[in-house]
Amino acid sequence: MDGLNTKYLVRRLVIYLLTIWMSATIIFCIPRLAPGDPIAAMISRMSQQAGYVENSDKIIEGWRKRFGLDDTPLTQYRRYLRNLLRFDMGYSMAFFPTTVSSMIKRALPWTLGLLLVSTIVTFLLGNFLGALLAWQRTPKIVKMIIPATMVFTSIPSVLAAIFLLYVFAFRLHLFPFRGAYGRGLQPELSWEFISSVIYHGILPVSTIVLVSFGYWALGMRGMMITVEGEDYMHLARAKGLNPFYTLYRYMVRNAILPQVTALAISLGTMVSGQILVEYIFSYPGMGTLIFTAIRNQDFNMIQGTLFVLIVATATAVLVIDLIYPFIDPRISYEGG
């Protein structure tokens, strides 16, 4: 494999596994450091819905044994790691007897789809606008408009989601304010369902793009300015090459490479921002599951959903890192 060797590949895989193990340990510890008892909270919710719950003390004791919460933390941790190796994430404490895995299987495709679309749109749009900002032939009016569109970059994704929801859903009634597809539709490969999914996903995707593309635009602008002063750019101008050809072939192609590296680093931030966006729009993805699990102190659900997102993000970073030598032939890991 050009640009890669076995030593580097093994080292990256070891780092990848260590990252997953450390992240899994952290998400095991943090929910247990929070105050409160998940079983007592569940009984409290039952009391609010149905009034007095008879023999609640015995119910709490039985459920604590059922979920292994009476075991020592070390025993719980060992069982937790052993179950993760088998991809057994147990039962949801808030939605028993539903398993965590089954709920994740329903929610994960929605999150991955939303993340994939928003990441591609953000990356392409941000770098395109950044290139226009740095290109000398860009009209001045365009260079004035682009910075004005970056106002959302400085605000949290939650506020951007609320703003878009209020304007385009509640006031203008142009888009739905919740859900991933229309009522009465069944998930299937039909144009009616697919068009409904696209229609419902416009606002969530727009929210993520609005709060993220500015970083890519500014980064690309800085790289383009750096590239513009290189010797090969002076040579291209001296040869009288077409300005658009020079922009694409010499400037964008060389400036985009550090942006690909930044993409791998920023995936974790994009995932965390998407979690709140999904909840605001009642999108049936992992974000809604995580928020509900935290509110209900559902340890198993918190551990399972966060673990899956961490594995997915770490895998994406690993893949980008391994294919980087193919993107830029100048990069080589032969000596690594």
Q: Which of 218, 318, 209 is nearest to 274 (CA)?
A: 209
Q: Based on the domain organization, do 253 and 302 belong to the same domain? A: no
CA distance 273 to 119: 12
- What is the reported pLDDT for 44? 61
Q: Based on the domain organization, do 233 and 301 belong to the same domain? A: no
Lowest mean pLDDT among 22-31, 33-42, 309-318: 33-42
Say whether pLDDT at 128 is over 80.
yes
Q: In terms of C-beta density within 10 A (0-12 exposed, 13-18 middle, 19 or more buried), how is residue 52 classed? A: exposed
Domain CATH number, residue 129:
1.10.3720.10
Q: Based on the domain organization, do 29 and 128 belong to the same domain? A: no
* Residue where a domain stops, chosen among 263, 285, 307: 285
CA distance 128 to 120: 12
Asked whether residue 249 is assigned to any structural domain, the reply reads: yes
Q: Report, in angstroms and rounded to the nearest whole number, the Rg of the chain calculated over CA atoms.
A: 24
Six-digit token string for 245? 């050809």
Query: Is the CB of residue 166 less than 8 Å from the CB of residue 205?
Result: no
- What is the reported pLDDT for 179? 82
* Residue where a domain stops, chosen among 242, 257, 285: 285
CA distance 195 to 336: 48
Six-digit token string for 43? 């009984």
Asked whether residue 230 is assigned to any structural domain, the reply reads: yes
Say whether pLDDT at 41 is over 70.
no
- What is the reported pLDDT for 51? 52
Asked whether residue 104 is assigned to any structural domain, the reply reads: no
Asked whether residue 100 is assigned to any structural domain, the reply reads: no
Mean pLDDT of the region 29-35: 72
Neighbours of 194 (CB within 10 A): 12
Asked whether residue 106 is assigned to any structural domain, the reply reads: no
Q: Based on the domain organization, do 227 and 255 belong to the same domain? A: yes
Q: Domain range spanning residue 197?
A: 113-285
Say whether pLDDT at 284 is over 50.
yes
Q: Based on the domain organization, do 80 and 117 belong to the same domain? A: no
- Percent of the chain residues past pLDDT 70, beyond the cut: 82
In sequence order, which ranges of 73-175 are alpha helices (DSSP H)?
A: 73-85, 100-134, 140-148, 157-164
Asked whether residue 99 is assigned to any structural domain, the reply reads: no
Q: Collapsing DSSP states into helix, strand and coil, what is residue 160?
A: helix
Q: Based on the domain organization, do 142 and 241 belong to the same domain? A: yes
Q: Based on the domain organization, do 209 and 303 belong to the same domain? A: no
Q: Based on the domain organization, do 281 and 301 belong to the same domain? A: no
Q: Model pTM?
A: 0.74
Asked whether residue 192 is assigned to any structural domain, the reply reads: yes
| pLDDT tens per residue across span 47-94 | 555 555 555 556 556 656 666 666 677 887 888 888 888 777 777 777
Asked whether residue 84 is assigned to any structural domain, the reply reads: yes
CA distance 297 to 41: 8
Site of tokens 């409290």: 44
Q: Based on the domain organization, do 259 and 308 belong to the same domain? A: no
Query: Is the CB of residue 104 less than 8 Å from the CB of residue 289?
Result: yes
Mean pLDDT of the region 324-330: 65
Q: Based on the domain organization, do 141 and 279 belong to the same domain? A: yes
Residue 293: C-alpha distances to residues 21, 95, 330 (Å): 21, 10, 46
Average pLDDT value for the chain: 78
Say whether pLDDT at 254 is over 80.
no
Q: Based on the domain organization, do 119 and 40 belong to the same domain? A: no
**How many folded domains does the chain comprise?**
2
Q: Based on the domain organization, do 13 and 79 belong to the same domain? A: yes
- What is the reported pLDDT for 11? 84
